[in-house]
Amino acid sequence: MPDHESTHLDPQALFEEAPCGLLVTKEDGTILRANHTFSQWIGFSEPELQGRRFQDLLSMGGRIFHQTHWAPLMKLQGSVAEVKLDILHRDRRAVTMLINAVRHERTSGVQHEMALFAIVDRDKYERELLKARKLAEELLRQKSAAEADLQKAQAELSKAFEEAQRRASFAEQMVAIVSHDLKNPLTAIKMASDMLARGGRTTRESNVLGYITQSANRAERLIADLLDLTLARVGRGIVITPASVDLRELVGLCVDELRIAFPQAKLIHNPVQTGMARLDADRVQQLIGNLVGNSVAYGDLQRPITVTSQLENDTAFVSVHNYGPAIPASLLSGLFEPMTRGGEAESGVRSVGLGLFIVREIAKAHGGDVTVSSDEERGTLFTVSFPLS
């Protein structure tokens, strides 16, 4: 007869040394018992697990699943089978397990008994199979596309060469504009500043000198920015540095400076619904200066030029209006292209047709746009929109 002692099975040893994780919890997930196997898998001792909630051991996705699916199913059908969840190890790495659970009514209350199976190797094998399949599909796709891409590449190279030549020519034009057309106005500004600096100055002269100094400094920055614009036309785009600014104050300061730059024009600032906007102040002043300069060049200087700043809903608007000859309809569609003029200037203001192009690029850099309307009766109105979001 077999020895009675050798065939005796200790229930506690079977529970602790089972080849799978075993858990007993209350209905709310509080752990009552956890076997040694499960404790080793997740790096917590059995006393550390007792009193913790099972769902607190799960990943964020597992917690959501436990609340929305697990708990309702346990109440409704009394069990769940082959549920795959990630349980967090003590070191916070995820241990993937397959779980079966049964709900029991005990004298001490409802208990959930769970068997958990670590499936790390199985998951790894499945991931490798999926990876291999995706790799094979990708290689097949690449092989199928290679011949078509080769043919397309020849045509694209030819087109790119022509485009590179065109952009290089445009870049040379931009450098010429920076070195020649901006040199003269900057020199005039500095000369005026030097004249005002001689001898004593009244309060008004001090203010004027301050405006001129600011304009000269900004002009130097804009020369550098125009060099950046040359690069923008070969693929980079205008660079802006937005910051929170008071729209009314920003536009008002710009109009004050432009009154000095264009003494022959009557400039009016019309602020509407003022507030803060996130804009690049230097770029916006450059934009307004270009639009006012365009109005001075082509507008009726016997009538005012109005600069309106407005905040409406989630958009900031800056518009410049002037009276005078209407822009021909045939020119409107290409008005914002470089080297384009809306007509013959009569004010003596020299233009190379770059100002409106820069206006559009500054608006685009802020995520906005510029529109224009023009007729003999109502005049010409340029409106730039800047989305505040």
Taking residue 264's Cβ as centre, other Cβ atoms within 10 Å add up to 9
Q: What integer pLDDT is reported at residue 348 of this predicted model? A: 43
CB 230 within 8 A of CB 359: no
Within the chain, which residues score under 50 in pLDDT?
A: 1, 6, 345-352
Q: How far is CA 325 from CA 28, 32, 229, 377, in A?
A: 81, 89, 30, 9
Q: How far is CA 10 from CA 6, 39, 49, 93, 113, in A?
A: 11, 20, 23, 34, 19
Q: What integer pLDDT is reported at residue 215 of this predicted model? A: 73
DSSP category for residue 54: G
The C-alpha atoms of residue 358 and residue 139 are separated, in whole angstroms, by 46
Tokens of 307: 């600069």
User: Quick check: pTM over 0.75?
Assistant: no
The C-alpha atoms of residue 60 and residue 72 are separated, in whole angstroms, by 18
